[in-house]
Each structure stands twice: as C-alpha cells, then as structure tokens.
Structure 1
Amino acid sequence: MRRSLAFPRRLKPALLAVALVVLVPACGNGAPAPSTGEPAAAPVRPQGVSAPHGAPAPAVASRVEVTEVASGLEVPWALAFLPDGRMLVTERVGRLRHVSPDGTLSEPIAGVPEVWANGQGGLLDVALAPDFEQSRMIYLSYAEGGGEGGRAGTALGRGRLEGDRIADWQVIFRQEPKLSQGGHFGSRIVFDGQGHLYLALGENNERPTSQKLDHLQGKVVRLNLDGSVPSDNPFVGREDARPEIWSYGHRNQQGAALHPATGFLWTSEHGPRGGDEVNIPQPGKNYGWPLATWGINYSGQPIPEAIGTSAPGTEQPHYYFERSPALSGMAFYTAERFPAWQGSLFLGGLASTDLIRLALDEDGRVVSEERLLTERKPRLRDVRQGPDGYLYVLSETEGKILRIGLAGGP
C-alpha cells in the first residue's frame, strides 16, 4: 500500500545524438505493505489536504524518445539551466562544468570549493539565485571534511559566476556536527520565491540524530539567501533546538522541488530497505525517521529504533514505496509541450534504474504510477524540466545527460 495526501489547489497546466523510441511497460507495485496492527497516527496536514487513500492504478504505457545530449561526465550529480541555453553540471568528484546545447563540455570552472569526495560525498547540488541575471550568483551544496575523526558534513555556499570561474565564494551554512563517514549527505537546494531557500539534508547514516533538534542531520533547513536564519522559523528562540530547522525526522533526502501552484516544498528521501518517501515538509513537524518507517534494515531485520509504520507525534509520508527505488532528483512538469504530462511529478531512481512518473489529481493525490526508461536501466541522479519543455536527466552510470520527451510530440 502507498499513501497519498490530497492537495488544495490545481496544478498549473501549463545535438547531435541518436534518438531511441521505447515502449515502456507500466509498473504498479501495488501489493500492500505489511501491517503492524497499530493505528496510524493522525497526520497534521497543510490546510485543505485530505486523508490518505490506497495504492494508485498503473499508468497507461508511454512511448518516449530519448536523446543523448552530452557524455563524458564523471558521476554527474546535478544540473541547472542558464539563461543563455547552456547548463551547469556538477560532477561528484568536485568539478563544475558548462555544457553547451550541442553537448560540448567546458573545462572545469575555477573557484569551486574543495570537496570531501568519499563514498557518497563530493560536489552535490547547483542552483541559480532567483536574481541570477542581475547578480550572477550560484549556490553549491557539497560534502565538507574537517570533522572529528576525519568525518564530514554537508555545506552550502554561494559565489558569482564570471565566465569560467566563481568569484567571491562564501560558505553560508555548515551541517553541524560533522558525522558522516561517507554516507547520507542529502542534498537539494530550493528557493521559495519569498527570499528564502530550503536545503534538504541527510542524517549522515547516524539514525538517532534525525530526532535531535540540536543536530542538523536528517533535517530540512530554511535560510535567508545570505545564510542567516528567518525570524519566523519554527524553532527560533528555543535553546534546545537549532533555529535553522524547518522540519526533522528525515533519512536521506536527495530530491526537492517547489509545488508550482501551491508553493509548498515537496521532498523525496531514501528509505532503508523499502519505505522511500515523498513528503510535504511543514514547519516544526517530525517525519518519523527512525521511529516510524515503512522499511526494514538492509540485513532484513527491523530498524532498531522503529516503533512501527507510525509513531506518536510523527507525520505519515504523502506517498511511499514498499520497494525502494532509491529516489534521487525530482521535478514537477508544468510545460505545454507534452500536455499528457502536465501536473506530473517525476523522480529519478538509482536502484530501480528508471524514471518514475507520478500522475497527480487536482488535490495533489497520486492517481497513477509509471516507470520510464526501464529498458535502458540508467541510474538517474537528477531530473529537471528544460526551458524547451523536455525533461533532462543525469545518467550517473553512463556519465550522460539525456533529454526525454513523448514520442510523436504531444
């Protein structure tokens, strides 16, 4: 069983390569998750959001066209579109590159901070400032070393993009304490259009820290654009809590996007063995990890701290997967090029090696699930909607940027 909460407002309707046309089978994974026999905690929902409902129907299979835009990247992690049509792409080893529309890769951009490139750590997300065309500011999240015992944490910084270099680099946030030995850094950067940014973080593979309000592991943090703390954050003024925290009880969040109609933040996170989640983090709310989870340990044993699939004082996920796709980047589709996709949420799958489309109704509930690129089997690290209305994804294992559209047009 999967859970999906309703949402209050309708979504907006809104290269030289070889193209592949693929008939993609639908995939439902509709079997119910095992029940613990416990009553579910009553979710506290955004205004107008309805109660959960059951598993969605499989989607009708789509015919998609896949075009290879660029290749030769080493573990690409994130991409962002520049106003001139080029892309910025991060490579986890610590490089940031320009990629032209014809797929040409630039030399590494100078001025990128030193990253801790170990395990899952390295150079992670990239995002343009909301006023980029005037300020030329970009933001980068990355793994930063220097913790006790050689450990690392997620950092966030910004600088001005001047051609092929970053000037005036400034670190504006550090995950404290630094606890990672190579796992669970998160992270995605999202701007809310109101002068704030969200940074979705992992718990450094230290489960109990997600519940500790004096730690920044397993949290969504909300900052002003300069890294200062907004005065209306939910834990401002509490001596036992970090004021940066927006929500807590998360595991390893590698996807985040702003809902185009409501302005709410949506995030995706890896579960352990099963129980990957899509959440709509609300201020001050606890999303359960590791007390409540729909997954089990990789060993096949229960999570030691877990009470069950729910726990007092915690929120249920908006949607969850009984079998883990290992969710990565995510994007809402709002373009007019492919009307059949309008209002859908797209998520990359690392373990499932596919692109997941969740069709949403006017209230934001998941009504069908479709798996794309199943024959190609890419480990998809990021998903973005391009200015041309196509989807662009990063295939980590292939080191490529792929452009995805419906075959035959709209």
Structure 2
Amino acid sequence: MRLAAALILALLSTAAQAADPTFDTSAGQVRVETVARGLDHPWSLAFLPDGRMLVTERPGRLRIVARDGALSPALEGVPKVFARSQAGLMDVILARDFAQSGTIFFCYAEAVSGGGRIAVARARLEQSATPRLADVTPIFHQKGPPSTGLNIGCRMAQAPDGNLFVTLGDHFAPKEDAQTLDNHIGKIVRITPDGKAPADNPFVGKPNALPEIWAYGLRNAQGLAFNPANGQVWEQEHGPMGGDEINIMVKGANYGWPQVSFGRNYDGTPVGTGKAHMDGVTDPIWHWTPSIAPSGMAFYTGDLFPAWKGSLFNGALKFALVSRLAMKDGKPAKEERMLQDLAERIRDVRQGPDGALYLLTDNSAGRILRMVPAQR
C-alpha cells in the first residue's frame, strides 16, 4: 500500500510539472510553476527565514503563504488602508535583524482629506498558531497634496546601516511638486527605523526643505533594490507615454520630472521642456520607450541560473512580461524579454532562497509563480 501511494504521489507530481508552461530563454527552457492562487492584486513578497512568504494584497490584507501554497487568513493588526485605483497596501520587507526582533516594515496608503497619502509602519510579526502583527507603529507620513489613487507607488529597501529608503509617487499632483523640497511628492526619502531623518541627509537644516528627502524629481516609482555589486540603491519608475526609467539614487540628486522625460504626456504634448536632458538633472541609466510599466525589481545572485548572475530582473504590467537586463561596466547594456506568452501583468519580482525567481501576478485572482530551469 505504501509503495502504491508513493507511486501515485510521484505520478501526480510529474503530471503537475508537465502541466506547468515552459518558455525558451537565454538560459535554456524554464518552467513556470504556480506556488499559490487566490490573491487579490498581490503587491509585494518577502521571504521568511523558514521559506514561507509574507504577501501583501492591495485591498489591505497581509498573508503568510506556506511552502505548499496554503494561504493563511488575513493577519490581524494591519491598519485600514485607502484602497482605491492603484492605492492600498503595498510593499513589505523584513528588517535586517528580523531573526532576533521579528520586525517588519510595510507601506500603505492612508486616508486623508481629499484622498490618500503614503505611510510607513513598523510592526512585530507574531508567528503563533494564529499569526498577527503586534506593536504596529506608523513611523512616517507623506507630506503634500493627497492622491486620488494614481501614481502612488511605494517601494522600500533597508541599507546595511539600518536606514530605510522609501519611494513616493508624484500623485498626478501640481506639476512642480516633484521639483520643490517642501513636500514628499515625487521623492525618495531616507529615514531611520524610527522614522527620523538621519543627520547626514542632503537637505537637513536647509530652508524650506523637508529633512527626510534623499533625492527628488521622480514620477511613479515601482521598484527599488540595492545592487549587490557595489551597494548602490537603484530605482525604477513609470514614465507617461514612454520614458519608464531606471536610476541610480545619488544623494541630493534631481531626476528631472516633470521638466524632462523620454516620454510624452498622455495627450501627446511634450513633457515640461520637451527635452530628455537638462543641465543639473541626473539622467537615467536605462529607459523604456514605449513604456512597459515596470514594477518590482531584483538583482539575481543565485546559482540556479548561472548565466544570469548579476542581471537585473523587472516585472512589466502593461507589456505583461519579465525583462532581464544584462550588465556591462556596472550599467544595463542589453535586454531580454521573456514569458510574454504567459499573458500576466507582473507586479513584483523576487529571488527566493532556493535561487528561483518568484513573480506576483496583478489581478483579482493573483498568483505567486516560481520560475525554475525546465530540466533539473
């Protein structure tokens, strides 16, 4: 009986693998497995030390996903979110000392008069029989005109010194807000784990400037990651019609929005000056024109795909694909587009502890996908 049961399980596993779609890539054929189903617009993914996953759903739920794909109930303790259009519960990351502290950080849209704004919270993940968040503490609130739910993307990354980088969209707000320093619109901020401005931030003590700002002139950032090759923080953002960008975030730098862009406004008119470059503005190191609507980014360091080590992976919403950027001299040099036939909007891309690439699909019946070599 045991032998028969084992044989049935093996056959079922083989049949499940055979049903998973395969795709040709520069690293050979890859198989895309479904790890979990039934997520409502999943936005961000973070791996727990035991291989389980924390996943945010845009309407305001945080779940733990078991290694077999089972979804926990929504965790208690998540603040009420402003869930409208692109806004809701967004990024989640584990603190660098998570193994000792159980601390996580997450960002979300909170309701304010006239719409929503980004808030960042710190919490402790209680992993009991009924997991929940405890000691939930908002540590940062965005200042500036609220969003109606558009261009409100938020990604986070924690530096080795413990400080947090947080991206903040331009909200389709009055055009020059991303260029002025008296608000957090169209900015990337750098804050301590308690939400304070580090003393060495570039605009600390400057008149009419918020001390949390690290860089400005951004539009709608959807990706943020540290480059393991050199420690630089890289950011990825949506342009309008064209001009999606990847930027290296330099202390105090201006990235130009809405004065310069490789794209055009949605009505076809030029953006700002109508130019792609301007004195005093830091150029992107890569741009997509036409726009692919990138979201989620991860540098690949694993062993499962040796040919892709050092590459930068980006999800794409509009073009429903995964973009791999090969590097040369520390910058993107060549693009490979893959999984187009999957026909899924890709919201997030993460490298798993097993070296596989994990993807979140952006729809009301969202999935967690795992990309692995087809032959192993």
Structures share fold, TM-score greater than 0.5 = yes
Residue 32 of structure 1: aligned partner: none
Structure 2 distance, partners of 1:243, 1:307, is 31
2:39 is paired with a residue of what secondary structure? Answer: coil
2:45 is paired with a residue of what secondary structure? Answer: strand
1:110 is displaced (CA, Å) by 0.4
Asked if 1:296 is matched to 2:260, the reply is no
1:286 is displaced (CA, Å) by 0.2
CA contact (8 A) 1:61 1:370 kept: no
Q: Select which of 30, 51, 56 maps to 1:90.
A: 56
Structure 1 distance, partners of 2:95, 2:210, is 25
Residue 54 of structure 1: aligned partner: none
Structure 1 distance, partners of 2:258, 2:372, is 38
Q: Select which of 312, 336, 344 maps to 1:378.
A: 344
Structure 1 distance, partners of 2:99, 2:53, is 14
Residue 263 of structure 1: aligned partner: 231
Report the TM-score, using the length of structure 1 for normalisation: 0.85
2:21 is paired with a residue of what secondary structure? Answer: strand
CA contact (8 A) 2:112 2:146 kept: no
1:178 is displaced (CA, Å) by 4.0
Question: Aligned-residue CA RMSD in angstroms?
Answer: 1.4
Residue 47 of structure 1: aligned partner: none
Letter in 1 for 2:124: R
Higher mean C-alpha displacement, 106-115 vs 205-214: 205-214
Structure 1 distance, partners of 2:177, 2:359, is 32
Q: Select which of 400, 406, 410 maps to 2:367.
A: 400
Structure 2 distance, partners of 1:306, 1:96, is 42
Residue 161 of structure 1: aligned partner: 125
Residue 335 of structure 2: aligned partner: 369
- Superimposed CA distance per residue, residues 74-105 of structure 1 (whole angstroms, 9 cap, x where no aligned partner): 00000100011100000000000000111100
Task: Report the CA distance shift for 1:62/1:213 in structure 2 as closer, same or farther (over 3 A).
Answer: farther
CA contact (8 A) 1:175 1:216 kept: yes
1:186 is displaced (CA, Å) by 1.7
Structure 2 distance, partners of 1:216, 1:167, is 28
Structure 1 distance, partners of 2:302, 2:351, is 8
Residue 322 of structure 2: aligned partner: 355
Structure 2 distance, partners of 1:210, 1:65, is 42
Higher mean C-alpha displacement, 164-173 vs 399-408: 399-408
Task: Report the CA distance shift for 1:165/1:178 in structure 2 as closer, same or farther (over 3 A).
Answer: farther
Gaps of 5+ in 1: 1-14, 25-59
Asked if 1:390 is matched to 2:356, the reply is yes
Asked if 1:332 is matched to 2:299, the reply is yes
Residue 284 of structure 1: aligned partner: 252
Report the TM-score, using the length of structure 2 for normalisation: 0.92
Residue 173 of structure 1: aligned partner: 140
1:311 is displaced (CA, Å) by 1.9
2:35 is paired with a residue of what secondary structure? Answer: strand
Asked if 1:229 is matched to 2:230, the reply is no
- Superimposed CA distance per residue, residues 347-376 of structure 1 (whole angstroms, 9 cap, x where no aligned partner): 000001000000112x21222211111101
CA contact (8 A) 1:185 1:201 kept: yes
Residue 20 of structure 2: aligned partner: 19
**When the two structures are aligned, how many residues end up with a matched partner?**
356
1:247 is displaced (CA, Å) by 0.4
1:67 is paired with a residue of what secondary structure? Answer: strand
How do 1:142-153 residues align onto structure 2 when only pairs under 5 Å count?
142-147=108-113, 150-153=114-117
2:144 is paired with a residue of what secondary structure? Answer: coil
1:120 is paired with a residue of what secondary structure? Answer: coil
CA contact (8 A) 2:304 2:355 kept: yes
- Superimposed CA distance per residue, residues 244-295 of structure 1 (whole angstroms, 9 cap, x where no aligned partner): 0000000000100000121110010000000000000101100000101000
1:312 is displaced (CA, Å) by 2.3
The percentage of counterpart residues that share the same residue type is 49
Letter in 2 for 1:143: A
Structure 1 distance, partners of 2:288, 2:28, is 21
1:300 is displaced (CA, Å) by 1.7
Higher mean C-alpha displacement, 349-358 vs 205-214: 205-214
Asked if 1:185 is matched to 2:186, the reply is no
Structure 2 distance, partners of 1:61, 1:297, is 37
Structure 1 distance, partners of 2:77, 2:266, is 39
More helix by share: 2
2:205 is paired with a residue of what secondary structure? Answer: coil
CA contact (8 A) 2:87 2:153 kept: no
1:61 is displaced (CA, Å) by 7.5
Residue 43 of structure 1: aligned partner: none
2:49 is paired with a residue of what secondary structure? Answer: coil
1:182 is displaced (CA, Å) by 1.1
Structure 2 distance, partners of 1:298, 1:405, is 38
1:145 is paired with a residue of what secondary structure? Answer: strand
Letter in 2 for 1:355: V
Higher mean C-alpha displacement, 230-239 vs 391-400: 391-400
Structure 1 distance, partners of 2:39, 2:308, is 28
Structure 1 distance, partners of 2:312, 2:357, is 11
Structure 1 distance, partners of 2:176, 2:67, is 45
Asked if 1:195 is matched to 2:162, the reply is yes
Structure 1 distance, partners of 2:150, 2:220, is 9
1:177 is displaced (CA, Å) by 2.0
1:403 is paired with a residue of what secondary structure? Answer: strand
